């Protein structure tokens, strides 16, 4: 069982190194949160006297708003621990982003099983 954990650790290190050394492309999809708060509303009324004696009124409402934009970058690591309800099997999963939305994963159980995977988020 120790050999499986050693192999899992080695492959996790390789995945981490590859994810660190390989250049990731520019992020094309971003999660953007925008909060707009109206703090000042200004109303401007313009009156004009025409040569005919009529009064022309024009009302314009302007809002001076303040906005905060927060951009959240995607995370490079994902770690999960799972256990069956009868506590007969425990699993740990480690995923590392290597290119764009492509992940390398290593998982192991307390029974000595080790799995490697490649996945994508969408």
Nearest to 97 by CA among 16, 9, 11, 31: 16
Give the model confidence (pLDDT) of 4-54 as tens digits: 777 777 877 777 777 767 766 555 565 656 655 656 667 777 777 777 777
Give the C-alpha separation, 86 to 67, whole Å: 51
Residue 79 and residue 114 in one domain = yes
Residue 7 and residue 22 in one domain = yes
Number of domains in the chain: 2
Residue 22 and residue 79 in one domain = yes
Domain that holds residue 110: 1-27+73-122
Residue 77 and residue 112 in one domain = yes
What 8-state DSSP symbol labels residue 70? Answer: E
In this prediction, residue 68 has a pLDDT band, given cuts at 50, 70 and 90, of low
Residue 8 and residue 44 in one domain = no
Residue 63 and residue 40 in one domain = yes
Give the model confidence (pLDDT) of 76-115 as tens digits: 888 898 888 988 888 999 998 888 788 899 999 888 888 9
Give the C-alpha separation, 117 to 95, whole Å: 9
The model's pTM: 0.41
Task: Report, in angstroms and rounded to the nearest whole number, the Rg of the chain calculated over CA atoms.
Answer: 29
């Amino acid at each position: 069982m120790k050999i499986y954990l050693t192999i899992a650790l080695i492959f996790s290190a390789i995945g981490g190194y590859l994810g660190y050394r390989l250049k990731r492309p520019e992020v094309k999809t971003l999660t953007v949160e925008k909060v707009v708060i109206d703090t000042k509303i200004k109303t401007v009324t313009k009156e004009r006297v025409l040569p005919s004696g009529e009064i022309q009124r024009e009302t314009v409402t302007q809002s001076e708003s303040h906005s905060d934009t927060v951009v959240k970058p995607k995370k490079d690591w994902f770690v999960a621990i799972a256990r069956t309800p009868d506590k007969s099997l425990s699993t740990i999963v480690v995923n590392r982003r290597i290119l764009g939305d492509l992940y390398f994963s290593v998982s192991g159980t307390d029974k000595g099983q080790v799995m490697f995977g490649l996945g994508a988020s969408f």
